[in-house]
Amino acid sequence: MSFISMNLRHLEYFVVLAEELHFRRSAERLGITQAPLSLAIQALEADLGARLFHRTRREVALTEAGLALLEDARAILARVEHARESVWETVSGDVGRLRVGFTNASSLSPMFPRLIHAYRTRRPKVNISLIELSSARQLEAIGERELDVGLLRAPQAGVPSGLVLTPLYTEPLLLAVQSRHRLAKAKRICLADLRDEPFIAYPRSAGVAVHEQTLALCAKRGFEPNVLQEAQQASTLIGLTATGLGVALVPASLRAITVPGVVFRTLEDEDTCTTLYVAHRYGDANARVAQFVELAHSLQ
């Protein structure tokens, strides 16, 4: 007879009776009558082919076989309880892994550190991995299950099917310009005023949504930006602006990058703004994803 087919409830009854060595007290502790307790012990003995207790009218005592089973029975019940707790923690989102994608610019927003700190505080047993990727690459990684959730900006081409993007907050696109540039002290600046300006921008191939948006906004005004210099990182882009090589359109959160000789100016155009989204797979049953998304919205 294998332990796999053994009734776990019978094992539980056995352990309680082995500890109490009294049928009435054991039944009271288990919240049952003595009859089902006796039947359970008899069934367990039949399964194992061994007597587990010496019974007389005055006393109950463990047999040698009962003593041998007691330690294993306690260990089996403990493992079952541990498995039950592990499953519950996983289903409830209290343990496991959460892979979070983020863009370079989103990491500089005040929301980002608050969100990550709050999530880690509320779910300390969850192993959270932070992975820096462009918006386009994040969408691919979420679709391919390499990421669970992402903080990104929507691409101009639209969102792949099977993914959900929910807006978190919208911020203006600012003009980053050298402090000695003619536009640095202009009273009003519109995007159309940048028609003849050289631009510093992210590479088109990098999949940065702000670059795509910049192209679309300029095209709307009848011109294509003259990208004189490309930069992979936000800090490099701002640093190159200080050289006077060109101007750049950046999310307002990049004002956190302080570089001497660079000023940030607001544009008058109403559509020069960008939205940060939280993205995940549609219908994802991962409780950790739902909790992260809910927390992100609660912090706005």
Residues 31 and 180 in one domain: no
Q: Which domain holds residue 123?
A: 98-276
User: Residue 86's pLDDT is what?
Assistant: 62
Residues 162 and 179 in one domain: yes
Residues 254 and 105 in one domain: yes
Residues 104 and 151 in one domain: yes
Q: Given pLDDT bands bounded at 50, 70 and 90, which one contains residue 159?
A: confident
CATH at 59: 1.10.10.10
Decide: helix, strand or coil at residue 63. coil
Report, as an integer, the average pLDDT of 239-267.
94
Residues 154 and 234 in one domain: yes
User: Residue 85's pLDDT is what?
Assistant: 66
Q: Check: CB of residue 145 under 8 Å from CB of residue 277.
A: no
Predicted confidence (pLDDT) per residue in 5-64, tens digit: 458 889 889 989 989 998 989 899 999 999 998 999 999 989 888 999 998 878 889 999
Tokens for 38, please give them: 């006796």
pTM here is 0.69
Q: Tell me: pLDDT of 83 over 80.
A: no
Q: Given pLDDT bands bounded at 50, 70 and 90, which one contains residue 91?
A: low
Residue 296 lies in a domain: no
User: Residue 168's pLDDT is what?
Assistant: 92
Residues 212 and 86 in one domain: no
Residues 181 and 104 in one domain: yes
Residues 137 and 269 in one domain: yes
Domain end position, chosen among 41, 65, 92: 92
Tokens for 115, please give them: 């969100």
Report, as an integer, the average pLDDT of 69-94.
76
Predicted confidence (pLDDT) per residue in 182-239, tens digit: 999 999 999 999 999 999 998 888 878 888 999 999 999 999 999 999 998 888 999 9
Q: Is the dihedral of CA 224, 226, 231, 235 positive or negative?
A: negative
Give me the chain's average pLDDT, please.
89
The dihedral formed by the CA atoms of 226, 228, 231 and 236, expressed in degrees to the nearest 10: -110
Residues 147 and 226 in one domain: yes
Residues 52 and 145 in one domain: no
Going by C-alpha positions, the residue among 217, 213, 170 that lies closest to residue 193 is 217
User: Residue 165's pLDDT is what?
Assistant: 93
Residue 158 lies in a domain: yes
Predicted confidence (pLDDT) per residue in 94-138, tens digit: 678 899 999 988 888 889 999 999 999 998 988 999 999 999 899
Report, as an integer, the average pLDDT of 170-174.
94
| DSSP secondary structure code for residue 249 in this structure | E
User: Residue 5's pLDDT is what?
Assistant: 47
CATH at 255: 3.40.190.290
- Rounded CA-CA distance 183/59 in Å is 98
Residue 224 lies in a domain: yes
Tokens for 16, please give them: 């309680």
Residues 22 and 108 in one domain: no
If residue 60 lies in a helix (H) or strand (E), which one and from where to where?
A: strand 60-62
Q: Given pLDDT bands bounded at 50, 70 and 90, which one contains residue 1?
A: very low
Residues 8 and 140 in one domain: no
Predicted confidence (pLDDT) per residue in 287-299, tens digit: 889 899 999 988 8
